[in-house]
Amino acid sequence: MAFPITHPTFPEPPLGIDTLIHEFNHVLQYQKLGFANFFLRYANEHKNYGLSKSGFDRNIVYEYGPRNSVYATETLEGQSQMAGDYAKLLALNAASSLPQRQKLERRLHGSGIYGL
Ligand SMILES: [Zn+2]
Nearest of 114, 48, 36 to residue 77 by alpha carbon:
48
Burial class (CB in 10 A: 0-12, 13-18, 19+), 82: buried
Question: 26 C-alpha vs ligand 1 centroid, how far in Å?
Answer: 7
Question: 24 C-alpha vs ligand 1 centroid, how far in Å?
Answer: 9
Contact between 50 and 57 under an 8 Å Cβ cutoff? The reply is yes
Contact between 80 and 22 under an 8 Å Cβ cutoff? The reply is yes
| Residue-level pLDDT at 98 | 94
Burial class (CB in 10 A: 0-12, 13-18, 19+), 67: middle
% residues pLDDT > 90 (the chain) = 65
Question: 41 C-alpha vs ligand 1 centroid, how far in Å?
Answer: 13
Please give the Cα distance from 6 to 90 (Å, whole number).
20
Q: pTM above the 0.85 mark?
A: no
Q: Which residues contact 90 (CB under 8 A, 6 or more apart)?
A: 101, 114
Residue 10 has pLDDT above 80, yes or no: no
Query: pLDDT tens, 43-96?
Result: 999 888 877 667 778 889 999 999 989 999 999 999 999 999 999 999 888 899
Question: 2 C-alpha vs ligand 1 centroid, how far in Å?
Answer: 36
Question: 54 C-alpha vs ligand 1 centroid, how far in Å?
Answer: 22
Nearest of 50, 53, 27 to residue 38 by alpha carbon:
27
Q: Is 69 helix (H, G, I), strand (E, B) or coil?
A: coil
Mean pLDDT of the chain: 88
* Spans of all domains in the chain: 17-115
